[in-house]
Chain A
């Protein structure tokens, strides 16, 4: 089992499957609030849904309205279970806080692969690969 230590952005614990990208995500315009599907043209995760996954990506980008998209996903039951970043940007940080999605950063996201089972304890700032 590998374990990585990072920094808490928003507290909480989650267990689930990793969905990993090496590209930044813009939630406003890049992720559909009523499906959870990444729709940004040419994005590595285009066509994939973030719902119920532990979403692992370097950082956020784009409009501050993106925070409200994370909130919409949460309300629709389509939010990621947790977010793991290299460096959380303010749009995602604010989105995580208002939506209460466990989030940590300062993690080397290249060490995590899609499909791995993760445990995130954001309060402690720890993410573990359990399988």
Chain B
């Protein structure tokens, strides 16, 4: 084979570290050969997708249980969202049966030494690589954030290949691990107003749809918060499969600037909004936190809900990571939100929870959430700012 292996790599492949490490190394070397990698490299951080029992099913769980027999993580590894809040699931209307199966999935990961807190924003809760660091992440929005905003280097891994990197500490050197594949290909000049997370989601939708996999170089965005960038990442990865972008003055990677320039107008952003706004949407579900809400966003939402009451016929989910929820409890945000009749849901989100049939229409600030609400749950959708979402909830 053309793939150069170290002694340690070969020992894993020969089964000297057990059968799970062997299987993991088989996956990594096969991917390396398919993509023409010359060698394997070490990764310092892993994010695993395929955690919701809703997506995994019994077979996926069986695979994880097999790997957990003798598999142990070699590097810091965190998990994508699960199908439910791992502690407060009952009050969110999740069935006993689903909860039991979801618990078995988390158990299997725990046994392997995975940090079993479930979030799509690992970079907000302590799995934060630095610029130039090689990592193996699944979860398309986090991949895009890590490559683009942080400047770490990762391919778009799937569930089993990310787990394989966790158990070996290795990945094949191809794709976004190589500098030559990280150069911008198309320049997009944004002439639209960029104010809130929903605007950034819509921009991601427009650029993602247009650019597909071509690496964008974006100009005309004067500044952006971490929350706005995470919204953009989720959307551009969902609608275009983008794993890396450059945003002038905001992202750290160096690149040549492409000659080919396309303009993004306000009209296009407005058209994207109309596309996600179903005129006949009957809103009975409001969800903020796709990707998972930051403590700053939760604090702002708590302020808006202070002393207010969510309308009887509406359900509100603010979704976040468990460590962020714990912080929200400490800050009193949790009490304020729950007293108003909204739920602060950890570990899960509206895209991976088993919600089909429970609601008719979703109002959210996330373009990605709209995509999955329509595709997986057949909900009608509407996209607005967080403030407008909360106003609608208490109207």
* A and B co-occur in one complex: yes
B103 to chain A, nearest CB (A): 19
Complex contact B158–A93 (CB within 8 A): no
* A67 beta carbon closer than 8 Å to chain B: yes
- Return chain A residues, CB-CB under 8 Å to B56: 65, 68
B334 to chain A, nearest CB (A): 33
- Return chain A residues, CB-CB under 8 Å to B58: 72
- Return chain B residues, CB-CB under 8 Å to A90: 31, 34, 158, 161
What's the count of A-B pairs with C-beta under 8 Å?
69
Which residues between 11 and 43 of chain B lie within 8 Å of chain A, taking CB atoms? Answer: 23, 26-27, 30-31, 33-34
- Return chain A residues, CB-CB under 8 Å to B30: 9-10, 93-94, 97
B140 to chain A, nearest CB (A): 10
A59 to chain B, nearest CB (A): 11
* B122 beta carbon closer than 8 Å to chain A: no
- Return chain A residues, CB-CB under 8 Å to B31: 90, 93-94
* A64 beta carbon closer than 8 Å to chain B: yes
* B387 beta carbon closer than 8 Å to chain A: no
B302 to chain A, nearest CB (A): 35
- Return chain A residues, CB-CB under 8 Å to B157: 64
Of A33, A88, A97, most B-chain CB atoms within 10 Å:
A97
Given that A97-B26, A98-B27 are contacting pairs, would A68 and B160 also be in contact in the complex, using a CB cutoff of 8 Å?
Answer: yes
Which residues between 40 and 65 of chain B lie within 8 Å of chain A, taking CB atoms? Answer: 49-50, 55-60, 62-63
* B361 beta carbon closer than 8 Å to chain A: no
Given that A69-B59, A71-B60, A98-B63 are contacting pairs, would A64 and B159 also be in contact in the complex, using a CB cutoff of 8 Å?
Answer: yes
CA distance A88 to B30 in the complex (A): 10
CA distance A69 to B160 in the complex (A): 12
CA distance A9 to B56 in the complex (A): 24
Residue of B nearest to A105 (CB): B34
CA distance A122 to B223 in the complex (A): 54
* A129 beta carbon closer than 8 Å to chain B: no
- Return chain B residues, CB-CB under 8 Å to A33: 57, 59
Tell me the interface secondary structure of chain B in the complex: helix
* A75 beta carbon closer than 8 Å to chain B: yes
**Interface residue count on the B side (C-beta < 8 Å):** 23
* B305 beta carbon closer than 8 Å to chain A: no
Residue from A64, A67, A88, A98 within 8 A of B34 (CB atoms): A88
Complex contact B59–A9 (CB within 8 A): no
Complex contact B34–A75 (CB within 8 A): no
CA distance A97 to B138 in the complex (A): 19
Residue from B33, B49, B57, B63 within 8 A of A64 (CB atoms): B49
Residue of B nearest to A91 (CB): B158
Which residues between 66 and 98 of chain A lie within 8 Å of chain B, taking CB atoms? Answer: 67-69, 71-72, 75-76, 88-91, 93-94, 97-98
Given that A88-B34, A91-B158 are contacting pairs, would A64 and B27 also be in contact in the complex, using a CB cutoff of 8 Å?
Answer: no
Complex contact B62–A67 (CB within 8 A): no
- Return chain A residues, CB-CB under 8 Å to B49: 64
Range of interface residues on A (Cβ < 8 Å): 20 to 34
0/1 interface trace, chain A 32-66, chain B, CB 8 Å (1 if under)? 01000000000000000000000000000000110
Residue from A10, A67, A76 within 8 A of B160 (CB atoms): A67
CA distance A94 to B30 in the complex (A): 8
CA distance A64 to B63 in the complex (A): 14
Residue of A nearest to B67 (CB): A98
Complex contact A97–B159 (CB within 8 A): no
Complex contact B55–A65 (CB within 8 A): yes
- Return chain B residues, CB-CB under 8 Å to A72: 57-60
B368 to chain A, nearest CB (A): 15
- Return chain B residues, CB-CB under 8 Å to A69: 59
CA distance A65 to B51 in the complex (A): 11
Which residues between 1 and 44 of chain A lie within 8 Å of chain B, taking CB atoms? Answer: 7, 9-10, 33
CA distance A75 to B159 in the complex (A): 19
Residue of B nearest to A96 (CB): B30
B49 to chain A, nearest CB (A): 7
Residue of B nearest to A65 (CB): B55
Of A9, A71, A76, A98, most B-chain CB atoms within 10 Å:
A98
A8 to chain B, nearest CB (A): 9
Residue of B nearest to A7 (CB): B33
- Return chain B residues, CB-CB under 8 Å to A9: 30, 34
Residue of A nearest to B164 (CB): A94
Given that A64-B138, A68-B50, A90-B34 are contacting pairs, would A98 and B57 also be in contact in the complex, using a CB cutoff of 8 Å?
Answer: no
11 residue pairs A–B, Cβ–Cβ below 8 Å: A64-B49, A65-B50, A65-B56, A65-B158, A68-B57, A75-B59, A88-B34, A93-B27, A94-B27, A94-B31, A94-B160
Beyond A33-B57, A64-B49, A97-B30, list 9 extra A-B contacts (CB 8 Å): A9-B30, A10-B26, A64-B160, A72-B59, A72-B60, A76-B59, A88-B34, A97-B26, A98-B63
Would you list the 7 A-B pairs with minimal beta carbon distance, nearest first? Answer: A64-B158, A72-B59, A68-B60, A94-B160, A71-B59, A97-B26, A97-B27
